[in-house]
Structure 1
């Protein structure tokens, strides 16, 4: 059996029980005379090439795993005992899948009546081709199909089928093809050449017209402009009620002004009417409008532009807050002044009542000193005691006021009289 296997695939080698002699005691599978696995009745198989051999459940069949080109060759099942006999044989060829093909159609020659095309099929550095003759947009193959064999043994085949050319690349385990619709490249080249000539003619014509126009345009209307000046954007309170207020938003530049009106309720302002625009004395444009909570004023001309963006704040509400603040001041200030005056008067009255009645004085001795005569014997019997009478100080009283009533006790140092 000749078997073709794709590179990397597995192959099962089958051996039926009927093919094994009843009296056989030893048989094997071999590859190019090299044993792969041996079998004996009532014994487990002995695998000699464990890398790529697997014994299946039926112990007579084996699987060759992950085959490569080097594994191509003859695989034989052979009985050895009691006599040598070939039981089964496989001629295995391992092949790679075929590569993609490249199909091209080229213009070989062309006349006013017909054109000759060459269709070429290439694969693995090998090519074959066929010839097509096209007349009035109809192409027919000249001669038969073309076939060839590549260096790897795969086949190439190119042929015409209706309005297409087909290139087929195949071997025993895979195939691929390329199909291309026949379009006459010779006619395309002719159409391209005609189109190119037409475009050249148009370009030359336009160039002549441009030259004539440039010659006639000898004057230019040139306007020199200054950059626009900055703008001034202001808000004014037009009127105000308890529920809403009306604002006027004014945009000024170059002595010109435009404005829009806003109506504000509950701190939300909306534009009344459309946006306003105008033209200044220098010809520049003024434009004023509201965008969300912003007021925008734009000043522009053909060479420059400027704008002023300001957050919308209700000036009417600010005036009400200022009046409210003055009212609070007027209500609080008079009672506060009265309270301060009363406190000041009470402090002055308290100062008059306070009297400092503290007396400072030095005691002075009396003019008379009463001495008690004692005998020497008495001096030895008891401690020496000297008495002196003192009285209130005769000095002038302090001008300081008394703070409280002081006791009438006066103390003075006395000396013992000499004996």
Structure 2
């Protein structure tokens, strides 16, 4: 018990400073588990990577080939120079904590690196639906629902002829580390569904929801470069008594390029000679967002905290954000969502021990990440065990054991005293043979006649022996015994 308490105190103390920021990886991709602490890689007796502290991934002794365990055979690449490993073709079952453990020649054991990996699949396409519409002469109000397979959020829009106000639909976390968000941009309602490794959306133009109020104003429709687009005509009333109908561009554009961005209008000439517009679309073709660059520009790592500034940049713009981290939490200043070139966005935020630089437009999304412990390596070193806590733990453990020992001895002594009192109150006497009063039956055998003997026994009345103390209190009942001896009567 004493040893287990001491070991428990040591383990709890060391674990406080060991933090692993989450690294998110797309399913099927690779991840590098890097070892950066050069000081722990000296005088190495053995080195191993473990999964969730129990399952062995790889073990190696310097100068020998690494031993890769069966579940990772063919999926791991070992870097001999710094003991880092690359895990390949990750599956969701590979999510967990990976720890690099070093055993020194001196017998010390320490952790050289620790990573919390979460493997995520690409998010599914969300569904944007309109549940209620109130379209009067002055304004149009409607509620939309943005839903994924596991969660949903609602948002209400109120639009006049030029602008729309929004209530609700802020970024919301559904299942852990997946997000839904509703926003508006250039005449469209956008339902975003994302996690830390992928992004997708569904859109509706406001004029499709409130056609009477918006008439034929052209809300922007965003299209991924190379995709197709249908320009639909929904106003049946203007398609009566048609003399001619024309599109200023093709009705169905295939394999759109960025040069195809612009306004597409359907014009109708009636038999009466009148002209009207049957449909109007503002199309913007966008390429996939490029991978952003996340850099650390300054670090101040003091004993109580660690402060650093990061820059999240794309090809055309950048934003800065400053983080101040203590042992358990980090506060952020700056890095809010910012629009760079029109309809492209940069944003910096933190999640599960990582700094994330997001770069997106209306048709694609990508990001770059850094773990906080990689930026503040010195600040992340586990604190030394507190000797006061260990001494107090030892003291109280010894005190508890001493109390248990004293109580046990007292109980044992009391039990022995009780047994001696019972023995001292027991009275013995020697039985004397008394011949039977009547004649002996000749049919009785000799053994029967000799085995029946009687004694008159009463309480002891003589004085107590002077050398043996007696209890002066006379018990209410006294156990009386007689020693009976079998004797043969004389002739």
Same fold (TM over 0.5): no
TM-score normalized with structure 2 length: 0.36
**Greater length-normalized contact order (CA 8 Å, ≥ 6 residues apart):** 2
TM-score normalized with structure 1 length: 0.42
Which structure has the larger Rg over C-alpha atoms?
A: 1
